[in-house]
Amino acid sequence: MKRIIHIVLGCCLLPVVCGSCITTKSNSYLQTNDKLPQYTKAEYKEYRLHPNDQLRMRVLTLNDEAQSIYSNGNQSSTTTSYDTYRIYDDGTVDLPFLNGVQVAGLTLREAAHKIQDTLQTMIPDAMVKLAMANEQFYFVGEGHSGAYSFYKERLNIFQALALVGDMKANGDRRRIRIVRPDPEGGLPEIREFDLRSASIIDSEYYYIYPNDVIYVSSIKGNFFKVENYSSTVGTLSTSLSFLVTVINLGLSF
């Protein structure tokens, strides 16, 4: 009788244990499994400026007066001083003696050339250098939520996760979502992809841009998911033994 009880209970619990385990396939990156989504290569597109972006600007010129105005009074040719300017909701930025320069929708390089061309009408030898002052991305979900600064250009999704500290084991790597603002102020774009596929490299989902929000949800049915198989087997074995003992006591009466 005991043997029959063990077999029945084992058959009932085995599907639960197997179906609740987080496997290597569900968490491993760079898999070449043909059953995973296959993404095509895509050319990298430079980031285009958005309203509320903040720009650091440096002006290089031999004109001491202009240099003083645009470099916080530091006239040294080796100064690394920057002034910070915010892009307004209408896409323009106000600079000393230059009001309402339209830069939203431009790359940093294009914006620098536009400001430089305009500034050279007053300062012929002026050279303009631009950089982002608020270059960050955001991570929300199964992991260490927060804002993280870019340390390099062309930051990819794996480098971003390295900054975050990767996600928890129960993070759904099959459905990573990136919420990307529209540079023209429209509705944000939501991109969803499977991070486990090796074809993610150099695809349209590979690179992270300033102001991106990376969202990682829990695996569906996360409440029943098992992260540590050995400890779970031990717990189930103990529970099974206890249950069998209770049943045996009931049969003895």
Look up the domain containing 14 and give its range.
Answer: 2-21+226-252
68 and 11 in one domain? no
CA distance 223 to 186: 37
Q: What average pLDDT does this structure show over 54-71? A: 85
C-beta of residue 123 within 8 angstroms of C-beta of residue 63: yes
Residues 88 and 163 placed together within one structural domain of the fold: no
Q: How far apart are CA 143 and CA 173, in angstroms?
A: 12
Q: Which residues contact 163 (CB under 8 A, 6 or more apart)?
A: 148, 151
Q: Are residues 104 and 166 in the same domain?
A: no
Distance CA 187, CA 164 (A): 26
- Over the stretch 8-46, which tens digit does the pLDDT of each residue have? 445 454 444 444 455 567 788 999 988 999 999 999 999
The pLDDT of residue 24 is 65
Whether the Cβ atoms of residue 211 and residue 181 lie closer than 8 Å to each other: yes
Q: Is the dihedral of CA 21, 27, 33, 36 positive or negative?
A: positive
Same domain, 162 and 217: yes
Q: What is the pTM of this model?
A: 0.72
**What are the residues facing 86 on neighbouring strands?**
54
Residues 41 and 162 in one domain: yes
Structure-model confidence comparison of residues 236 and 221, the more confident one: 221
Taking a C-beta distance cutoff of 8 angstroms, is the pair 103, 115 a contact? yes
- Of 107, 132, 157, the residue that ends a domain is 132
Q: Tell whether the model's pLDDT for residue 230 goes beyond 60.
A: no
Same domain for 93 and 61: yes
Do 128 and 141 lie in one domain? The reply is: no
Quick check: 146 pLDDT over 50?
yes
Q: Which two tokens stand for residue 68?
A: 């003083």
- Distance (Å, whole) CA 131 – CA 37: 36
My answer on whether 119 and 87 are in the same domain is yes
Question: For 105-172, where are the alpha helices, taking DSSP H only?
Answer: 108-119, 157-164
Residues 143 and 196 in one domain: yes
Count of domains forming the chain: 3
pLDDT tens column, 157-187: 999 999 998 787 888 999 999 999 887 778 8
156 and 114 in a common domain: no
CB-count burial class (<10 Å; 0-12, 13-18, 19+) for 117:
exposed
- Kindly tell me the burial class for residue 147, based on how many C-beta atoms sit within 10 Å of its own C-beta (0-12, 13-18, 19 or more): exposed
CB distance 146 to 139 below 8 Å: yes
d(CA 220, CA 11): 24
The whole-number average pLDDT for the span 89-108 is 91
Alpha-carbon distances of 75 from 63, 64, 79, rounded to whole Å: 9, 6, 7
CATH number at residue 147: 3.10.560.10
Residues 219 and 140 in one domain: yes
Q: Rounded to whole angstroms, how far apart are CA atoms 84 and 96?
A: 12
Q: Do 94 and 122 lie in a common domain? A: yes
Contact 30, 198 (CB under 8 A): yes
Residue among 134, 135, 138, 136 nearest 214 (CA): 138
